Amino acid sequence: MTNRSQRALAAAQLTNSVGDGAYYVTSALYFTHVVGLAPARVGLGLTVGWAVGSLVGVPLGRLADRRGARGTAVLLALATGAAVASFLLVRGFVPFVLVACAYAAAQSGLAAARQALLAGLVPAEERTGLLARLQSTLNGGLALGAALGGFALSVGTSAAYHGVFALDAVCFLLCALILLRLPAVTPVAEAGRREHRFEVLRDRPYALVALLNAVLLLRLPLLSLALPLWISERTEAPTWMASVLFVLNTGAVTLFQVRAARSVTGMATAVRVLRRSGFVMLASCAVFALSAGASVWSAGVFLVAGAVLQVVAEMQQSAGAWQLSFDLAPADRMGEYQGFFGTGTTVARTLGPLVVTSLLMEWGTAGWLLLGGLMPLASYAMGPAARWAAGRRRAADGTVEEGVAENPTCPDARRPALAC
């Protein structure tokens, strides 16, 4: 892959993440204050939308495999921009739900198509490193967009909110134009395939890996929802600490995600990093729990320390999950498999707020420890699940893949490296 293509992928990531950052900061207040929807209806509509998005990720990823990843990504970027622009016309609950479904479906499909495009352009050994750079770019764009959204919130007028949504729509248009400049990826021919139409739905080992990753992604609602509520209701810390933790997270990922991913070079290293991330996340949850009942300064220290541990776990988990999601997927169904793996993010966004807030706000410290305890359990289960999936992939392909080759350092040299 040429440096020009890498720069184009980064530019596309940056443009739509700027728009997304502004959208995330302002959307809830726009839908309630400008559109006039009740908060409960906004939550219901978005839940329905992301549920639909989780269902269409696989077929849209398959479309990218069969019709071309670049063209599919361009069309879905345009569709996402059109959906965002349509929010400007929404004035009732039913239209809001319909547009939310279109938005979530286009976003889910775009994520799968872009992963398929990257897989078609980038050699396997370079994908995790490039994804780390793209993740850094994403967080930088989100931070910039959040600042623009914060300015719109400070103005507080309907025109300011409309400007944010228009900006997001334009950003997706620019993203589509940038993606159009990338080299085309040859579609996979359908002829000769004997598998189930949606093979990923029958790939139980890969489904298990995706499920365990979804458990690890329950961290997603922490910064945006759980911690702001926890800070305001259970600690003596000022509410603005929530924004401090958000800035700390996005800044750390922007600066250090590439470095955190350097050690992940195959499936064996991915499993080790994922195991480590589970214990770091457990430590993070325990430290967050200590902020309850502490003095103002002590609570602030505990919150910052917990956030530092959380972002370390996040960067490790991301790098390991990227490696497994690609290495365990067949090369000719990359979009389909990436669409399925991406449903973990959608499920975490859909169910995570309910699960996390119920645990933390109702159970307090015990809830933090229970949430943290899930993380090493899920991360340790990744090893056996990855070995199962790798064995199935070797049997299907008739090859020995990188990271699961015979390893002379094992007591039994016939065992895959992941077993050591």
Average pLDDT over residues 251-255: 89
Which of 56-65, 93-102, 220-229 ranks highest by mean pLDDT? 93-102
Q: Is residue 54 part of a domain?
A: yes
Residue 146 in contact with residue 21, Cβ under 8 Å?
yes
* pLDDT single digits (tens) 67-97: 888 999 999 999 999 999 999 999 899 999 9
- Cα torsion 135, 137, 142, 147: sign: positive
Average pLDDT over residues 246-261: 88
Q: Is residue 192 part of a domain?
A: no
Q: Is residue 226 part of a domain?
A: yes
The percent of residues above 70 in pLDDT, for the chain, comes to 91
Which of 26-40, 74-88, 216-230, 338-352 ranks highest by mean pLDDT? 74-88
* pLDDT single digits (tens) 123-133: 878 888 888 89
Average pLDDT over residues 242-247: 81
Q: What's residue 343's pLDDT? A: 83
Looking at the fold, whether 176 and 295 belong to one and the same domain comes out as no
Q: Looking at 195-204, 316-325, 341-350, which range is the least confident one?
A: 195-204
Looking at the fold, whether 340 and 311 belong to one and the same domain comes out as yes
Nearest C-alpha neighbor of 64 from the set 79, 52, 76, 80: 76
User: Mean pLDDT over all residues of the chain?
Assistant: 85
* pLDDT single digits (tens) 142-188: 889 888 888 888 888 999 999 999 999 999 999 999 999 998 887 76
Which of 41-55, 236-250, 273-287, 341-355 ranks highest by mean pLDDT? 273-287
Q: What's residue 398's pLDDT? A: 61
Looking at the fold, whether 88 and 44 belong to one and the same domain comes out as yes
Q: What's residue 402's pLDDT? A: 41
Residue 112's domain comprises 1-184
Q: What's residue 175's pLDDT? A: 96
Read off the CATH number of the domain in which 308 is found.
Answer: 1.20.1250.20
The percent of residues above 90 in pLDDT, for the chain, comes to 44
The model's pTM:
0.76
Looking at the fold, whether 137 and 210 belong to one and the same domain comes out as no
Q: Looking at 61-75, 227-241, 257-271, 283-297, which range is the least confident one?
A: 227-241
Average pLDDT over residues 25-37: 86
Q: What's residue 32's pLDDT? A: 85
H or E, element range at 366: helix 365-397
Looking at the fold, whether 142 and 260 belong to one and the same domain comes out as no
Q: How many domains does the chain have?
A: 2
Pseudo-torsion of CA 270, 311, 254, 267, nearest 10°?
A: 0
Cα separation of 118 and 334, whole Å? 10
Looking at the fold, whether 167 and 205 belong to one and the same domain comes out as no
User: Residue 252: exposed, middle, or buried by beta-carbon count in 10 A (0-12, 13-18, 19+)?
Assistant: buried
Query: Side chain identity at 409, as an amino acid letter?
Result: T
Q: Grade residue 408 by pLDDT with cuts at 50, 70 and 90.
A: very low
